[in-house]
Amino acid sequence: TVGCTAQMIGFAVSSYRENGISGLVALGIGTSMLQVPNIVKNPLILIPPTVAGAVLAPLATVVFKMTNEPAGAGMGTSGFVGQLMTFADMGFGTSVWIAVLLLHFIAPAIISLILSEGLRKIGWIKFGDMKIEQ
């Protein structure tokens, strides 16, 4: 689930300047698949959310011992199904809430934003590269 959420939240936050609040919602709780045409045009936009997922998924499984129901495992933040299924599998304890907030939302947003801004500074990602059709 963390890898999927990293893609969705990562793209939502990284592309905020191009897509605004509607893009944040569409990508963050809808589907990151909206970025597929942009990935074809510039595959480098995959770097920030993919690195976020690669860093956070092992932390989620090894350190935080996060688990999920099969129905929610690949859903990410789409309709919050991934989070609801995580709670269904792990319960609603404080540590679970902290892990979900940190690993599903906060950390992927921070990692992806830092990396995307760095890639924008060196010209690998340009304004408009992550604009979604509306």
pTM of the model: 0.93
The domain tally of the chain equals 1
**Cα-to-chain-centroid distance, residue 78:** 10
CB 130 within 8 A of CB 19: yes
Q: How far is CA 37 from CA 83, 101, 130, in A?
A: 27, 29, 9
pLDDT at position 71 over 90 = no
What 87-91 contacts at long range (C-beta under 8 Å, 24+ apart), as own/partner pairs, is 90/66
Asked, for residue 89, whether it belongs to a domain, the answer is: yes
SS (H, E, C) 15-73: CHHHHHHHHHHHHHHHCHHHHHHHHHHCHHHHHHHHHHHHHHHHHHHHHCCCCCCHHHC
Asked, for residue 134, whether it belongs to a domain, the answer is: no
Asked, for residue 106, whether it belongs to a domain, the answer is: yes
Backbone φ and ψ for 41, nearest 5 degrees, come out as -75, -40
pLDDT in tens, 15-28: 999 999 999 999 99
Query: How many angstroms separate the CA atoms of 132 and 103, rounded?
Result: 25
Asked, for residue 129, whether it belongs to a domain, the answer is: no
pLDDT given for residue 21 in this prediction = 96
Q: Which residue has the higher pLDDT, 71 or 59?
A: 59
Domain that includes residue 91, residue range = 2-121
pLDDT band, residue 77 (cuts 50/70/90) = confident
